[in-house]
Amino acid sequence: MTKVNNNDDALPRRSMRRLREKENRCNTILKAAEELFGRKGYHSTGIEEIADLAEVSTGSVYFYFKNKEELLIKLMQEIGHDLRKFMGEEFQKTEFSLDSFRTISYAFLGDFCLRHPEKIAIFFRESVGQSVEVEEQRKQVFVKLTQDIKDAVIKISEGQGKHFVTKLSPELIAVCIVGIYERIACYYLLWQDRSADVMQMAQESASFMLGGVNNLFVPDAPISGKRGKGINK
Amino acid present at 29: I
SS3 162: coil
Measured distance between the N- and C-terminal CA atoms of the chain, rounded to whole angstroms: 73
Closest CA to 64 of 99, 23, 97, 92: 23
Model pLDDT for residues 80-102, shown as the tens digit of each residue: 999 999 999 988 888 788 888 88
What is the pLDDT at residue 94?
A: 83
Domains located in the chain, CATH noted: 10-65 (1.10.10.60), 72-215 (1.10.357)
143-154 b/e (C-beta count within 10 Å ≥ 16 → b):
eebbebbbebbb
DSSP bridge partners of 217: 164
Res. 230: pLDDT tops 50: no
Res. 212: pLDDT tops 60: yes
